[in-house]
Chain A
Amino acid sequence: MGEMNAAHKRYLIRLAVVMTVYLGSLFLAEWLIEDRGVTGAPAYALASVPGLMVAAIFWLFSRLIIEEQDEYVRLIYVRQSLIATGFAMSLAGVWGFLETYKLIFHLPAFWWPVMWCLGLVIGGAYHWATGWYRGARA
């Protein structure tokens, strides 16, 4: 979207590392726990890794906000994360009550961080559409 600076480059590198570990650990957990029947402590450890990589997404976006030197771009990131949080938490709240009264199917909890990431995309698109990135190189 905007010009890519050092903070944004670090963010993308960290994101690539986290997503690689996430996909690798997910594959391993599926294979070893689901197919090979691994149980006990190794299963707990293995099943925790994809979740910890989801936690790392929040950490690396926080680092992006902290490390961004351009105050205006930093403001956009903060506003984007507020939109993402509002979107994901609102959806979780509404979905939770619908689920409680059995009006809708059960959704595993790991989908809410995914909704947060979708909220970031929505936040980015909103700022782009409303001219917050005007002046940036295409």
Chain B
Amino acid sequence: MKNRLKVLRAERDWTQGDLADALKISRQSVNAIETGRYDPSLPLAFQIADLFEMTIEQVFLKDEA
């Protein structure tokens, strides 16, 4: 699943560490989600979307078939 995490983070001038601290997760988790290596659970996806004051669909993009 693709996501706009890196762009959203850059727009706010946040480092991966800043985002990890805000979400109370590890930096490797942020890196794994950002690079698409790991798809977060629904609760974590909601938490990320809430942090950016967006909907999940605005942060995470459906893979095209």
Contacts and interface: CB of A to CB of B under 8 A. Distances in A.
Interface residues of B, number: 17
B26 interface: yes
Nearest to A71: B41
Contact of A3 (B27, B33, B38, B44): B27
Nearest to B30: A135
Contacts of B1: none
A97 interface: no
Contacts of B38: 72, 75
Contact of B16 (A5, A69, A132, A135): A135
A136 interface: yes
Interface in B3-58: 16, 24-33, 35, 37-38, 40-41, 44
B37 A132 contact: yes
Interface residues of A, number: 16
A3 B27 CA distance: 8
Q: Which of A2, A70, A132, A135 has the most chain B CB atoms inside 10 A of its CB?
A: A135
A75 B58 CA distance: 26
A132 B28 contact: yes
Contact of A135 (B31, B40, B44): B31
Interface of A: 2-3, 5, 69-73, 75, 131-137
25 contacts: A2-B26, A3-B26, A3-B28, A70-B26, A70-B29, A71-B41, A71-B44, A72-B25, A72-B28, A72-B33, A72-B38, A72-B40, A73-B29, A133-B28, A134-B31, A135-B16, A135-B26, A135-B27, A135-B28, A135-B29, A135-B30, A135-B31, A135-B32, A136-B26, A136-B28
